[in-house]
Amino acid sequence: RKEVEQDPGPFNVPEGATVAFNCTYSNSASQSFFWYRQDCRKEPKLLMSVYSSGNEDGRFTAQLNRASQYISLLIRDSKLSDSATYLCVVNTGNTPLVFGKGTRLSVIA
C-alpha cells in the first residue's frame, strides 16, 4: 500500500462548480499535512496546511480526520485558474515530505 493515496483523476468540472479531493495516508505517526498545487511543468507550491480542526482559505477548505487517516480539500466556485494538479502531502516530524501521486483538475468554461 502506498503511503499517500489520492483520488485518481482527472476531474473535469465547469466553472462555478464545487469539487472535492480525497486523500488517505498509511503512517499513523504522520504529524503534518499539506495540499500542494502544481501547474503543468512547474514546481509544486504550497496551497495550504491542514489542521485537525479544519481550516479555510477563501474558496478552499481542508479537513483532516486522524482516526480515519483521511484528508480532504474542497474547492468552491471553481475558476479556470484552479486548473492544476493537487498533491496531498504528509510528513512525520523531521522526516521528508511524502507526496501522493496527485489529482489533476481541469475547470472548463
**In terms of CB distance, is 49 or 76 closer to another protein?**
49
**In terms of CB distance, is 49 or 69 closer to another protein?**
49
Contacts of 95 (CB under 8 A, 6+ apart): none
Tell me the residue type at 74: L
In the block, residue with C-alpha cell 515530505: 97
> Least separation, in Å, of the C-beta of 77 and another protein?
27
Q: List the beta bridge partners of residue 13.
A: 107
Note the residues at the interface with another protein (CB under 8 A). 4, 32, 34, 41-46, 49, 87, 91, 94-102
**In terms of CB distance, is 74 or 98 closer to another protein?**
98
> Least separation, in Å, of the C-beta of 48 and another protein?
11
Q: List the beta bridge partners of residue 56.
A: 61
> Least separation, in Å, of the C-beta of 56 and another protein?
19
CA-CA distance, 5 to 100, in Å (whole number)? 5
